[in-house]
Each structure stands twice: as C-alpha cells, then as structure tokens.
Structure 1
Amino acid sequence: MTSSTDESVAPAGRAERRRDRRKAEMIVAALQILSGVGYQGMRFEDVAERSDIAKATLYHYFPSKDALVSAALEKLTADVLTHLGEALDSASALSATEQLRALIAEQLRVLTVLYPEVGKLFSFPAPWPEQHSESIKTMRRRHDRIFREVIDGGITSGEFDCPDPSVALHCLHGILNHASIWLRPDADPEGRTRDAVVEESLRLFTRPQAIAT
C-alpha cells in the first residue's frame, strides 16, 4: 500500500526533475548563443526562443542576463573539469607521461566533440563585463591546475624536461585550441590525426625516449 507521504513525494520529485531539465536546456541554449555572438550579442529573447519557452519563464529561472551567463559558464567549466578528472583518474597508476597523454587526449575530445563552445568562449574571448572576466580567469586557473600538477610531478621525477613549464602549458593550450578549429571528427574517423596532435603536444614536455609507444 502506498502511503500519502510517498504519493506527495513522487510528484514533487518529477516536478523537480522537469525544472532541472528545463534549466539545463536554457543553459545549453545560452552557451550556443554566447559561442556564436558573444556576450554583447546575446539576448534573453534569443535564449528563450532557442529553448522554446516564453521569455517570462526564462526570467523565472534566471532574474538577469548576467545570472544566466554566470550559470552557463560555471556549468561548462564544471563539466569540462569532470571529464578531465575522470581521464586523470583512469591513468592515476601510470607514469606522468601517460597521465598527461590522457589529459591532452581528453581535452582535445572536449574541444572537438563534447563542448566545441569551450574554445570559442575561453580561448578566443570577446570582451566581457568585469564580473565575468574575473570568473573566466578563475575558471582557467582551475582548469590549468589539473595539467600543472601532472607536469610538476613529471618534472620532479625527472620524466619531463621543459625549462619553463608555464610557457609550455600556454603553448599546449594554443596547439589544442587551434587544432579544435580544423580537426573535425567526421574527417578523422579513425582518430589518426587526433592521436598525432596528442603525441606532438607531448613533445613540449617529454624527453624523446619517454614518448615512444
């Protein structure tokens, strides 16, 4: 027999899931528009139209454009960090070279398959209001920390050999961000070009004998 408490909780749970799905759809729409026209070109009505909702409904979830942008950027960052963290966890018992290889490969997958908005929003940003500019800088630092910890570990162990890790890391992001522009998964079905990008990127940090597979 179902209790009255169970009957009241179930509809509430479904309603909450519906709200979460709708909110996620709005965030996805906002990211797509931001990556296309930037912060200045993004309008609430365009997000509402792409999400197939009324503008008033969008305001119910996000009281301002800046609130929506903040939520979208944080969601994107959290998802990217989750993917990188999972890739690193899967290689945690391996060498620093293999850990970095896993991170680079996953970052490239994020940029070309999962979230092509990342490169446009974070790598080649249009002007942002100060509050978002500072948030993006913080998000970049959170992102880079994952790579830097692996790089520093490889340097400490003697596995990596790069005179300036910070410069090498900037060069790495430059390689991956530009590769995401011309490297289309549909044109590289076997992943050979993607793998070549990963291996060449490793050369920024690793002695030649250490990257042999």
Structure 2
Amino acid sequence: MTDTDNAAGISGARLVTSSRVSRRRDRRKAEIVLTATGLLAEHGYQGMSLEDVAERTDIAKATLYHYFVSKDALVAAVLEALTVAINTRLEARLDQVREQPYTEQLTALIGEQVRILTVESPEVAMVFSWPRRWPEGFDEIIKGSRRRHDAIFREVVVAGLAAGEFDCPDADVALQCLHGVLNQSSLWLRPNLSEQRSEELRELVVTTALRLFARTAGPERI
C-alpha cells in the first residue's frame, strides 16, 4: 500500500467519523427543539427556561449552549421547525388534490389544518396562541411564519376566485377570518370529547369555514 493509499484511507475514516458526529449532533439538536416545543406550549415564552429544557433532555445547561447560544436562538429554532413541519404537511395534502376543483383543494387544506391543530400536533396552536407575550425581537419571525402559512391557503383562494368557484367580497378579510376560526378550533375541541363527536365537530368547522369563500357549503364530509 502506498503513502497515497494510506492518506486516502485516513481521510475517508475522518469523513465517516465526522459524518457520525454530525448526525449525532443533529439528533441531539432535534431532541432539544422538541423538548423546548413542549415547554413553550405549556408555559409560553416567559415561562420557558433553559434550565427546564436541559433537565428534560438530561444534559447540562452548559452543554445546551453548544447547540443554541441563547434562549431566543432556541425559541427561534422551535418556531421555524413548527412552521416548516405544518407547511410541509399542508403542501403534501394539497399536492394530493391538485387536479380537483378549488373548492375540494380548500376543503382538503382546512381539514388538514384542523386535524393538525386538534388531533396530531395541538402544541402548534398552543405555541402560536401567545401573541402579546413575545419579546419585540420576535415580531418579524412570527409575522414571517404566518405569511408563509397564509400563502398556501391564499394560492388556492386566489385561483378559486379567478375561476369563479369562490365568491367573497374581500379575500384578505376572508383569509383572516379563516385563520381565526381554525386557531380557535383547537381551544374548544377538547380531548375529553368522544372520537365520534370530535370528528363531527371537525367536519362542521370545515363546512362552516368554507362558507367564507364558496358558493356552496362544500362537500358534506372530508
């Protein structure tokens, strides 16, 4: 074996080791973000502490700073992760119905959003339900997150209006009302309801929300 072969082997081993370290770091970082999400949902920004995050993830607080330089950096990572996760879900659902009428597309989006907020990821609604308790530095982050989320619904609404499927005096007002309805649904669709009753209420939310846009109430079931 030549010196060149030895050098290549050493370099390859370093790359493998570096890759493993990077993956381990990414997993740990994701675990920290997940833990912080739960605490943020429970207590809001003011009530969340890095000490609690460190304790729940079973690491020293000093170690936590190797991943996030501050509480604000960690919270910003939580908001970005939630935004990406929910928007990815919505876009995937929309892709499934792209060839259908715009009313069906909007129905699918609303139904998916309600399911996310009330069944699968209620922490999303809890995190974003503390609008007046964020430090000033988070204003643009929150607004940017909401704009990215709104854009998915807005695309369908604008196209539906242009196609004559929807009929609302002002798309901006209707979209604001829609987001308000969806966010509030997470507050009154409680876990103590039976699954049948919860499903009935989710469907009612969808058909009622559609009346903000559609000429008809939309499909009876989603």
User: Under a length normalisation based on structure 1, what TM-score does the superposition of the two structures give?
Assistant: 0.90
Gap regions ≥5 residues in structure 2: 1-8
Number of matched pairs: 211
- Quickly say closer, same or farther: Cα 1:210–1:114, change in 2 above 3 A: closer
Residue number among 59, 62, 75 corresponding to 2:68 in the alignment: 62
- Residue type matched to 2:22 in 1? E
Gap regions ≥5 residues in structure 1: none
Task: Tell me if 1:147 matches 2:173.
Answer: no
Task: Tell me if 1:169 matches 2:175.
Answer: yes
Task: Tell me if 1:135 matches 2:141.
Answer: yes
- For residues 61-80 of structure 1, the aligned pairs below 5 Å read 61-80=67-86
Tell me the residue number matched to 1:192: 200
Q: CA deviation at 1:116?
A: 1.4
**Structure 1 residues 113-122 or 52-61, which shifts more?**
113-122
The C-alpha deviation readout for 1:31-85, integer Å capped at 9, x for no partner, is: 1111222212221101111111110111110111111111111111111111111
Task: Tell me if 1:180 matches 2:186.
Answer: yes
Which of 1 and 2 has greater Rg? 2
Tell me the residue number matched to 2:57: 51
- Residue type matched to 2:86 in 1? V
Q: CA deviation at 1:113?
A: 2.7
- Measured in 1, the distance between the counterparts of 2:50 and 2:86 equals 25
Runs of 4+ aligned residues of structure 1 deviating over 6 Å after TM superposition are none
- Measured in 2, the distance between the counterparts of 1:106 and 1:58 equals 34
- Residue type matched to 1:135 in 2? I
Q: CA deviation at 1:12?
A: 2.9
- Measured in 1, the distance between the counterparts of 2:145 and 2:96 equals 23
- Quickly say closer, same or farther: Cα 1:128–1:109, change in 2 above 3 A: same
Q: CA deviation at 1:23?
A: 0.4
Tell me the residue number matched to 1:125: 131
The C-alpha deviation readout for 1:114-151, integer Å capped at 9, x for no partner, is: 32122122244242122212110111011111111111
Whether the 8 Å contact between 1:188 and 1:194 is mirrored in structure 2 is no
Tell me the residue number matched to 1:20: 26
Q: CA deviation at 1:175?
A: 1.5
**SS at structure 1 position matched to 2:55:** helix
Q: CA deviation at 1:91?
A: 1.0
- Measured in 2, the distance between the counterparts of 1:145 and 1:209 equals 23
Task: Tell me if 1:203 matches 2:208.
Answer: no
- Quickly say closer, same or farther: Cα 1:37–1:154, change in 2 above 3 A: same
